[in-house]
Amino acid sequence: MFIDEVIITVKAGDGGNGCLAFRREKFVPRGGPSGGDGGHGGDVTMVASQHYNTLLHLRFNPEHKGQRGRHGEGSNKTGHNGTSAEVAVPVGTVVYDTETGQQLHDFTVPGDRFVVAKGGRGGRGNARFTTSTHQAPTEHEDGKPGEFKKLQLELKLLADVGLVGFPNAGKSTLISRISAAKPKIADYPFTTLEPNLGVVRVSDNRDDDRTFVVADIPGLIEGAHLGHGLGIQFLRHIERTRLLAHLVDMSETGRDAVEDFEIIMKELAAFSEDLAAKPMIVVATKLDVTQDPARVKALEKLAKKRKLPFFKIAAVTGEGIDKLKQAMAERVCAPSQVDVS
């Protein structure tokens, strides 16, 4: 089960109380105050882990607590600090405070750590209040409470290229062709119910070896921003991408390819103007079963008008696939990865 949004609560440990004590020992006539400090409460820390690719483990374990600090004791003994709690989250998780809506942290690299709730400070024992004029203090402090927060976690997959388009536009077939991903493929709409990631490797005879990650999300339909179809809740998974590949099905008779393209663009803009403005390439799919070449020409003309690169593929037969992979790699791989000799 793919879960990309959960709400959890975190409670850091309270600090231990300071101790009120006086040293009373034989042959020590003036022992004086000896109350130790309380220990600090344990923090709650989130850690980005590559061992998770969904937030499912947090849906059924929504409460996380740090350990309370031990109270101080006599003989100037300081209480032990509480043990901190660690919460593992997938790389790509964004943490929000539900009360304020503020983004607290964005986990983009493995091993990234962030303290989401700080433990309370331990209280001071009465030995801390001794002065030259106040040699038998009875003052002592209680420990401070640890922070409590209600958090919303959203997972945004990390990918270089995002595939968008209508249901059955050929996105799943393409990602299965260019990577080792094995998404469900069928001849009915909405076969993709959750995002899929695939790692694409591009090699040629120039000793050029480049890899990038492609994300396939469920198809969009008109009115997706209003909740039609599967809605637009999965579009967050391509917000981080550097390139969008807009796939348009050429096999559908009776449909206008240009209109299909414009509908998807409106849905992207309804979700985020920044997303709609990302670099994009246009891909005409299913050329092997295309019955109306005029659809392809119309889409190519639109791409040229918008100054967008245009590609024609047939993922089943492999036509145009290598050229498309090269074009993706040139646009998303770092310059140091590209052989320009």
Tell me which of 126, 155, 184 is where a domain ends: 155
β-pair type (93-97, 103-106): antiparallel
Q: Where are the alpha helices (H) located in the chain, listed in sequence order?
A: 56-59, 171-178, 257-271, 273-276, 293-305, 321-332
Containing H/E element for 198?
A: strand 196-203
pLDDT, one tens digit per residue, over 180-222 is 767 555 554 555 557 788 888 887 655 567 888 898 888 777 7
Please tell me whether residues 126 and 271 are part of one structural domain.
Answer: no
Q: What local confidence, expressed as pLDDT, does residue 341 receive?
A: 31
Say if residues 23 and 147 touch (Cβ distance below 8 Å). Answer: no
Tell me which of 101, 136, 155 is where a domain ends: 155
Task: Please tell me the distance from the alpha carbon of residue 217 to that of residue 236, in angstroms, as a whole number.
Answer: 10
Give the domain range for residue 200. Answer: 161-337
Please tell me whether residues 79 and 210 are part of one structural domain.
Answer: no
Q: What local confidence, expressed as pLDDT, does residue 187 receive?
A: 53
Residue 127 clears pLDDT 90, i.e. is over it: yes
Say if residues 333 and 201 touch (Cβ distance below 8 Å). Answer: no
Say if residues 143 and 120 touch (Cβ distance below 8 Å). Answer: yes
Q: How many CB atoms lie within 10 A of CB 128?
A: 18
Please tell me whether residues 88 and 235 are part of one structural domain.
Answer: no
Percentage of the chain exceeding pLDDT 90: 50
pLDDT, one tens digit per residue, over 256-297 is 889 989 999 998 888 888 988 999 999 999 888 877 788 889
Mean predicted lDDT score pLDDT of the chain: 86
pLDDT, one tens digit per residue, over 307-322 is 999 999 988 888 999 9
Tell me which of 104, 126, 155 is where a domain ends: 155
Phi/psi of residue 332, nearest 5 degrees: -120, -20
Q: What local confidence, expressed as pLDDT, does residue 98 receive?
A: 95
Structure tokens at 211: 């890899």
**In degrees, to the nearest 5, what angle opens at C-alpha 175 toward C-alphas 224 and 275?**
40
Please tell me whether residues 41 and 188 are part of one structural domain.
Answer: no
pLDDT tier, 253 (very low <50, low <70, confident <90, very high otherwise): low
Task: Please tell me the distance from the alpha carbon of residue 298 to that of residue 238, in angstroms, as a whole number.
Answer: 27
Please tell me whether residues 16 and 108 are part of one structural domain.
Answer: yes
Task: Please tell me the distance from the alpha carbon of residue 300 to that of residue 278, in angstroms, as a whole number.
Answer: 19
Containing H/E element for 258?
A: helix 257-271
Domain CATH number, residue 281: 3.40.50.300
Please tell me whether residues 145 and 254 are part of one structural domain.
Answer: no
- Total domains present in the chain: 2
Residue 19 clears pLDDT 60, i.e. is over it: yes
Phi/psi of residue 165, nearest 5 degrees: 155, 180
Task: Please tell me the distance from the alpha carbon of residue 154 to that of residue 8, in angstroms, as a whole number.
Answer: 11
Containing H/E element for 93?
A: strand 93-97
Q: What local confidence, expressed as pLDDT, does residue 171 receive?
A: 86
pLDDT tier, 173 (very low <50, low <70, confident <90, very high otherwise): confident
Say if residues 283 and 247 touch (Cβ distance below 8 Å). Answer: yes
Please tell me whether residues 169 and 302 are part of one structural domain.
Answer: yes
Please tell me whether residues 18 and 145 are part of one structural domain.
Answer: yes
Residue 338 clears pLDDT 50, i.e. is over it: no
Residue 337 clears pLDDT 50, i.e. is over it: no
Question: Comparing C-alpha atoms, which of 270, 237, 72 is closest to residue 171?
Answer: 237
Task: Please tell me the distance from the alpha carbon of residue 12 to that of residue 255, in angstroms, as a whole number.
Answer: 57
Structure tokens at 254: 């009776």
Domain CATH number, residue 67: 2.70.210.12
Please tell me whether residues 295 and 168 are part of one structural domain.
Answer: yes
Question: Comparing C-alpha atoms, which of 203, 282, 214, 213 is closest to residue 248?
Answer: 282
Which comes out higher in pLDDT, residue 254 or 162?
162
